[in-house]
Amino acid sequence: MEPSDFNIPERTWKGRALLLVDLDAFFASVEQLDHPEWRGKPVIVGGRSDRRGVVSTASYEARAFGVHSAMPSATAERLCPDAIWTSSHFDRYHELSAQVMGILKDESPLLEQMSIDEAYLDVSPGRYTGEDPVAIAARIQARVAELGITCSIGVATGKAVAKIASDMDKPRGLTVVYPGGEAAFLAPMDVRAMPGIGKQSAERLRRIGIRTLGALADTPLDKLTPLFGVNAQAVRDRARGIDPREIATESEVKSVSHERTFATDLVTREEIEDAIDMLGPMVGRRLRKKGLAGHTVTIKLRYADLSRRTAQKGLPANVDDETVFIPVAKRLIDEIWRPGDSVRLVGLGISGFEAHDEQLGLFADEELPAGNAELLSAADKIRDKFGDGMLKFGRELKIRHETSGTTGMNDGRL
């Protein structure tokens, strides 16, 4: 293979340097760590097919058979009949996640955690450390490996390229896109490789003859405006590797959140979903009142044993509309809850009000449903006048009478 433009190392890194660190087959790797006899073998974390479950994740040995996250367990069993199956052990995953985040914070406090196993780290020379970003990335890999799990890292000048790079050479990959090499790195890729360009955008681009990010980068703006409106330039910039989004460090993050304690423990997924359906409109209304929109959804569950778990998900745009963030919040349940867990408290919050504003609505046609601003604004008015109890949508009603106490509105972190 010819040396590509994007991987010619320079002696010193100039400008911004962001790492995207993502743990390899995270849940499965923790299971292999905790069960040495499972190492090197296909391990699947998830509910088995007799319970109509889906795969949470699979070790790379199982992925060789085609098994992947979100696949129905029945399919996974067929593809890999000899796999070792296990249910999730979230407390362990959170423990390991916290240890990894601790290592990252030690390398640079400029950290934005995106999920349980993924974080951006700003290691721009001169910002916090003068060290070479690639050397830092290599050291992080070594330090994480000491915990008994592995990670892949993308190093680049911006978020999108770092994210794509982190996924290029999993597991244990270290992919570096040097400053100035972004456009050449992206050019041959399918437009779908760009985070935020989903099925719909890709299809619309295909209809005007654009399949690769290179082609997108070279397209005149007047051809993109009908597709992306005011965001056409931002979309094209992203394809050219121009991505000035800052990382949002924890200290800047504020959230609007609500939580509720229940008199009787919630024991089914549906009951937890009902709680989210109830909390969502309270959070949404509070956001709209404050004129805030955020790109991180957090749910918090407290269990009968009083232990607490949270799960977070980043959104491709800032939102204040509960019809958009409630479905995302519900999908997070599986990260921290499994059948049999008794839940005493449910919290829901939106945070990350900064930075992403430039990309608001950028790729708004996918991943996020359109939302329902008009209806919500009408509902807000009724609630303003008569209070929260006056208007309830669907399932909200079911759960109201089951609550024993409410913690008030709070603008702190979940």
Active site residues: 118
* Region 256-285 residues binding ligand TTP, contact defined as CB under 6 A: none
CA-CA distance, 17 to 156, in Å (whole number)?
6
CA-CA distance, 247 to 112, in Å (whole number)?
6
List the x/- string, 20-49, binding to Mg ion by CB under 5 A: --xx--x-----------------------
**Which range of residues in 16-24, 77-85, 180-188, 314-322 is near ligand TTP by CB under 6 A?**
16-24
User: Of 287, 296, 299, 298, which Cα lies nearest the Cα of 318?
Assistant: 296
The answer to whether the beta carbons of residues 159 and 151 sit under 8 Å apart is no
Cα 329 to chain centroid distance, Å, stands at 11
Work out how close the CB of 57 gets to Mg ion at its nearest, in angstroms, rounded to a whole number. Answer: 8
Work out how close the CB of 335 gets to ligand TTP at its nearest, in angstroms, rounded to a whole number. Answer: 6
Q: Three-class SS of residue 208?
A: coil
What, of Mg ion, ligand TTP, none, does residue 178 touch, CB below 5 to 8 Å by kind?
A: none
Residue 245 is given by DSSP the state P
Q: Are strands 84-86 and 43-46 parallel, antiparallel or unpaired?
A: parallel
List the x/- string, 43-82, binding to ligand TTP by CB under 6 A: -------------xx-----------xx------------
Work out how close the CB of 27 gets to ligand TTP at its nearest, in angstroms, rounded to a whole number. Answer: 4
Work out how close the CB of 115 gets to Mg ion at its nearest, in angstroms, rounded to a whole number. Answer: 8
Work out how close the CB of 57 gets to ligand TTP at its nearest, in angstroms, rounded to a whole number. Answer: 3
What, of Mg ion, ligand TTP, none, does residue 166 touch, CB below 5 to 8 Å by kind?
A: none
List the x/- string, 132-161, binding to ligand TTP by CB under 6 A: ------------------------------
CA-CA distance, 210 to 204, in Å (whole number)?
9
User: Of 132, 146, 161, 155, which Cα lies nearest the Cα of 103?
Assistant: 146
Cα 158 to chain centroid distance, Å, stands at 17
- Looking at beta carbons only, is 70 or 142 nearer to ligand TTP? 70
List the x/- string, 168-187, binding to ligand TTP by CB under 6 A: --xx----------------
CA-CA distance, 152 to 123, in Å (whole number)?
16
- Looking at beta carbons only, is 153 or 235 nearer to Mg ion? 153
DSSP code string of 307-322: -EEEEEEEEEEEE--H
- Looking at beta carbons only, is 117 or 321 nearer to Mg ion? 117
CA-CA distance, 45 to 89, in Å (whole number)?
9
Work out how close the CB of 60 gets to Mg ion at its nearest, in angstroms, rounded to a whole number. Answer: 11
Position 25 contacts ligand TTP (CB under 6 A): yes
Could you count the other beta carbons within 10 Å of the beta carbon of residue 142? 10
Residue environment code for 353-392, b if the CB has 16+ CB neighbours within 10 A, otherwise e: bebbeebbbbbbbebbeebeeeebeebbeebeeeebeebb
Work out how close the CB of 9 gets to ligand TTP at its nearest, in angstroms, rounded to a whole number. Answer: 26
* Region 102-121 residues binding ligand TTP, contact defined as CB under 6 A: 116-118
On the 0-12 / 13-18 / 19+ scale of CB atoms within 10 A, 10 is: exposed
Report the side by side order of strands in the sheet with 343-351.
308-319, 294-303, 343-351, 255-266, 403-410
Which token pair is 299?
Answer: 């749910």
List the x/- string, 222-261, binding to ligand TTP by CB under 6 A: ----------------------------------------
* Region 322-361 residues binding ligand TTP, contact defined as CB under 6 A: 334-335
**Which range of residues in 25-33, 189-197, 276-284, 343-351 is near ligand TTP by CB under 6 A?**
25-33
Which token pair is 293?
Answer: 């929109």
Among 117, 277, 367, 396, binds Mg ion (CB under 5 A): 117
| Contacts to Mg ion by CB under 5 A | 22-23, 26, 117
Q: Which positions touch ligand TTP (CB under 6 A)?
A: 22-27, 56-57, 69-70, 116-118, 170-171, 334-335
